[in-house]
Amino acid sequence: MSIVDQIRQDDILVLSINNPPVNAFSPGVPEGLKAGLDAAQADDTVRAVVIIGSGRTFVAGADIKTFNMPREQAPDLRGTVEKLDRFPKPTVAAIHGTALGGGLELALACTYRVAVPDAQLGLPEVKLGVLPGAGGTQRLPRVVGAAKGLEMMLSGNPIRGAEARELGLVDELVQGDLLEGAVRFARAHADARPLPRISERSVEGGSPEVFAAARESIKKTHRGQLSPSLIIDLAEMAATQPFQTGWEAEAEKFMQAKDSPQSRGLRHIFFAERESAKIPGLSKDTPTLDIRSVGIIGAGTMGGGIAMNFLNVGIPVTIVETAQEALDRGLGVIRRNYENSAKKGRMTMEDVEKRMALLTPTLNMEDLADADIIIEAVFENMDVKKEIFTKLDAIAKPGAILATNTSTLDVNEIASVTGRPESVIGLHFFSPANVMKLLEIVRADKTSDSVLATSMALAKKIRKVGVVVGVCDGFVGNRMIHRYGDEARKIVEEGAAPQDVDASMNALGLPMGPFQMSDMAGLDIGYAIRQHQAKVRGEPKPDGWLDRIVERGRKGQKTGAGIYDYDEQRKPRPNDEMEELISSYRAEKGITPREISQEESTKRLAYSLVNEGAKILEEGIAQRAGDIDVIYIYGYGFPAYRGGPMQYADEMGLQNVVADLEKYGQTPAPLLRRLAEEGKTFAQYDAEKGRA
Ligand code: 3HC
């Protein structure tokens, strides 16, 4: 098999692309396709050409790994597309699996497209911070109209073959064997002349209002991002200019987007997410357990949210509480959540009932005896957790996974009370647990490979991004966020207003700054942690300005007031009482407030994450810098287009990060300092470690 096979089917030449796993447009593919087209053109007995993907999919796009190659060495997708557009005989793209990005652009340059009904067709480039760069911005609107074209290119979401047929993007749906259907179609259209070419069509519905509305909408959906506005500009060109003008402009804007830090950030996350699923020491052969039933202890906000994940994918859940009232309340919240989704049209009432029927409430922990996995989700208290795990050890069937949803506590200590520490693992869900995509999977000292592999597979099944972390206080995400919170409080102490500190992170693209976030989570949580840590360390009772706020009963959004006041719509408003409290606190401590620029605030906060991240990396609590980035994108609202805090540091230059940390009085972590001295990046550190 070569990268593009030429298979003769009488009068039709089939070009079959073999570039597993997803037939990306890698080096060799354009050469193979062009050779096939040349052969078809030179041979009078070939009447038409079919292009098909071998294996599980059509072409899933340009090869993202080649984006860093010099232009001349990168696979020539645009040249292939041009050749197809000018080709004198009919060409048919036969689509199954996914035709994405450059894959769909290739298909759009063919004369015809046939597809299986469940094929997926889309232009997801925006998700990588780029834009369709091989004619997609010019051809897709010419087929599906301006509005639909914009919707597809700005959301990046694919449509199914059946919808594509309705839109005219696909000419025929093939129900049986795709190759057979495609060859039949090609033969039936072999004599069509003149050949219909999308590049010769005009765009329907391309009024100025459509583009104005799109420009308005991306202010909300893609705030601060470059490629969406370039996509709109190009789609407008498709509607108003000759094809060739738009085609040339597209090439230039594609390079502009591709070379932006935003695209580098999004591409980094694309690969980091896939890399995070790979655990050294585990392989495809590591045995996994079949999870057919789940037990959950605690029907509070976390327990209920966790339960919904399993109900959503059809796995029955038994949920345990200590009192009937708490159980009823928990079930009520789950039901209401589902009913709200039904009201919004995201599911039917039948779906609601189906999910609720999978849920068994009980007051008796013994009812968990048959569960394949039991997840404890009670409040953060080591003694309580140990008591529960002692009981579980006696109740759970042999081989069942015993998981704790602790966000900070020592999973080794919890495991130690059982006679089967190899079955114990941390599964740290993020609130709201039915919404947030992140799952920190905490591998304790004795957790078995099989329990770890099963947990990773389970994360995927419930559509979470699972990242393996080691045991330490706060694991990866919360350990870093504690340092960030400390720095945020310090910046206010030195002179900034809380709203300015929040604004400095909003400017980086985080929807919430540190104080907006802690008001939402509840200020009493951080307060309790600080008090607890001081006690453990034998330090005096913490008495910072934020502690004083909490001691006034202002616990955040849930009490209607925290660092900010809140109106009915939960809109935060700075208030005089807090300003006074902070001012008098500074006066009491003899601090003369100084002006702190937004740049200083952003750097101090972002770099406090990076610095702690570097320590975490060196200690092996996270396996890769990329894992930390994935955790921050999916669990903490760090903007994906920045690629996560570690990638952001790489972009800023680690030498600059070190210099700034020192300038602002933080001590750079040894690993960070070492990489900076060697002129390296975290990405290089990951790559070298991966090769080792
Ligand atoms: N380039 C390079 N590698 C790719 C790739 C691509 N376009 N798409 C997927 N891969 C790799 C993944 O990194 C992964 O590698 P690994 O096994 O070493 O980790 C492997 O293929 C399998 O991918 P997934 O694990 O994601 O497999 P799934 O079956 O879950 O998903 C998919 C398949 C839906 C195709 C998904 O991989 C995907 O969405 N890929 C990206 C598609 C895309 O964005 N295409 C547009 C590219 S940009 C472009 O075309 C520019 C053009 O307009 C000029």
Task: Please report the DSSP string for 366-432 in residue order.
Answer: GGGTT-SEEEE---S-HHHHHHHHHHHHHHSPTT-EEEE--SSS-HHHHHHTSS-GGGEEEEEE-SS
- Of 629, 598, 660, the closest CA to residue 276 belongs to 629
Three-class SS state of 361: strand
The ligand 1 atom nearest the CA atom of 277: 19
Three-class SS state of 254: helix
Long-range pairs, 2-6, Cβ under 8 A, ≥24: 2/32, 3/28, 3/29, 3/31, 3/32, 4/28, 4/29, 4/31, 4/32, 4/33, 4/35, 4/36, 5/54, 6/35, 6/36, 6/39
Q: Is the CB of 134 under 6 A from ligand 1?
A: yes
ipTM score? 0.99
The ligand 1 atom nearest the CA atom of 56: 29
pLDDT of amino acid 533: 83
Catalytic residue among 31, 125, 180, 248: 125
The ligand 1 atom nearest the CA atom of 77: 54
Q: Residue 307 in contact with residue 319, Cβ under 8 Å?
A: yes
Helix residue ranges, H only, 259-381: 261-276, 301-312, 324-343, 349-357
Q: Is the CB of 128 under 6 A from ligand 1?
A: yes
Q: Residue 662 in contact with residue 676, Cβ under 8 Å?
A: no
Distance CA 646, CA 652 (A): 10
Query: What is the CATH number assigned to the segment(s) 496-588?
Result: 1.10.1040.50
Q: Is the pLDDT of residue 529 over 90?
A: no
168: number of Cβ within 10 Å: 11
* Predicted TM-score (pTM) above 0.90: yes
DSSP label of 127: G
How far does CA 503 lie from the centroid of its chain? 24
Q: How many angstroms does the Cα of residue 100 sit away from the middle of ligand 1?
A: 9
- Of 63, 47, 44, 152, the closest CA to residue 108 belongs to 152
Choosing from 19, 22, 80 the residue with most ligand 1 atoms within 8 A of its CB, the one to mutate for a pocket test is 22
Query: Where do the CATH 3.90.226.10 domains begin and end in the chain?
Result: 4-259
Q: Is the CB of 274 under 6 A from ligand 1?
A: yes
Q: Is the CB of 138 under 6 A from ligand 1?
A: no
Q: Is the CB of 136 under 6 A from ligand 1?
A: yes
pLDDT of amino acid 334: 97
Report pLDDT digits (tens) over 421-430: 999 999 999 9
Residues, the chain, total? 692
- Of 473, 355, 457, 468, the closest CA to residue 412 belongs to 473
Give the pLDDT band of residue 528 (cuts 50, 70, 90): confident
Q: Is the pLDDT of residue 1 over 80?
A: no
Give the pLDDT band of residue 335 (cuts 50, 70, 90): very high
pLDDT of amino acid 532: 83
Q: How many angstroms does the Cα of residue 31 sit away from the middle of ligand 1?
A: 21
Enumerate the β-bridge partners of residue 375. 296, 403
CA distance between the termini of the chain: 32
Q: Is the CB of 65 under 6 A from ligand 1?
A: yes
The ligand 1 atom nearest the CA atom of 131: 53
Enumerate the β-bridge partners of residue 441. 427, 468
Q: How many angstroms does the Cα of residue 499 sit away from the middle of ligand 1?
A: 40
Distance CA 461, CA 273 (A): 16
Q: Is the pLDDT of residue 525 over 90?
A: no
Q: Is the pLDDT of residue 284 over 90?
A: no
- Mean pLDDT taken over the chain: 96
Q: How many angstroms does the Cα of residue 158 sit away from the middle of ligand 1?
A: 14
pLDDT of amino acid 592: 96
Q: How many angstroms does the Cα of residue 60 sit away from the middle of ligand 1?
A: 6
Distance CA 428, CA 411 (A): 11
Query: Where do the CATH 1.10.1040.50 domains begin and end in the chain?
Result: 496-588, 599-691
Tokens of 657: 């990060």
Q: Is the CB of 135 under 6 A from ligand 1?
A: no
Q: Is the CB of 13 under 6 A from ligand 1?
A: no
Distance CA 32, CA 1 (A): 12
CA torsion sign for 328, 330, 333, 335 is negative
Q: Is the CB of 62 under 6 A from ligand 1?
A: yes
The ligand 1 atom nearest the CA atom of 156: 44
Give the pLDDT band of residue 379 (cuts 50, 70, 90): confident
Q: Is the pLDDT of residue 692 over 80?
A: no
pLDDT of amino acid 545: 95
Q: How many angstroms does the Cα of residue 71 sit away from the middle of ligand 1?
A: 20
Tokens of 465: 């991004």
* Nearest alpha carbon, ligand 1 atom 9: 22
Catalytic residue among 31, 72, 82, 105: 105
pLDDT of amino acid 403: 98
Q: How many angstroms does the Cα of residue 22 sit away from the middle of ligand 1?
A: 7
pLDDT of amino acid 616: 98
pLDDT of amino acid 558: 86
Q: Is the CB of 133 under 6 A from ligand 1?
A: yes
Q: How many angstroms does the Cα of residue 531 sit away from the middle of ligand 1?
A: 47
Report pLDDT digits (tens) over 73-108: 899 999 999 999 999 999 999 999 999 999 999 999
Domain 4-259 has CATH 3.10.20.30: no
Distance CA 320, CA 326 (A): 10
Q: Is the pLDDT of residue 691 over 80?
A: no
Q: Residue 451 in contact with residue 324, Cβ under 8 Å?
A: no
Report pLDDT digits (tens) over 175-197: 999 999 999 999 999 999 999 99
Residue 105 annotated to the active site: yes
Question: Is the peptide bond prior to 208 cis by the omega test (within 30 degrees of 0)?
Answer: no
Q: How many angstroms does the Cα of residue 685 sit away from the middle of ligand 1?
A: 23
pLDDT of amino acid 72: 85
Residue 619 annotated to the active site: no
Give the pLDDT band of residue 486 (cuts 50, 70, 90): very high
* Nearest alpha carbon, ligand 1 atom 15: 274
CATH pick for 599-691 out of 3.40.109.10, 1.20.120.1770, 1.10.1040.50, 1.20.1530.20: 1.10.1040.50
Report pLDDT digits (tens) over 617-674: 999 999 999 999 999 999 999 999 999 999 999 999 999 999 999 999 999 999 999 9
Q: How many angstroms does the Cα of residue 198 sit away from the middle of ligand 1?
A: 26
The amino acid at 390: T
Distance CA 420, CA 402 (A): 9
Q: Which fold has domain 294-469?
A: Rossmann fold (3.40.50)
DSSP label of 198: G
Choosing from 26, 64, 96 the residue with most ligand 1 atoms within 8 A of its CB, the one to mutate for a pocket test is 64
Place of tokens 């320590």: 615
pLDDT of amino acid 531: 87
Average confidence (pLDDT) over 45-52:
98
The least confident of 56-60, 75-79, 686-690 is 686-690
The least confident of 218-232, 493-507, 557-571, 581-595 is 557-571
Average confidence (pLDDT) over 211-217:
98
Report pLDDT digits (tens) over 261-276: 999 999 999 999 999 9
Q: Is the CB of 63 under 6 A from ligand 1?
A: yes
Q: Is the CB of 132 under 6 A from ligand 1?
A: yes
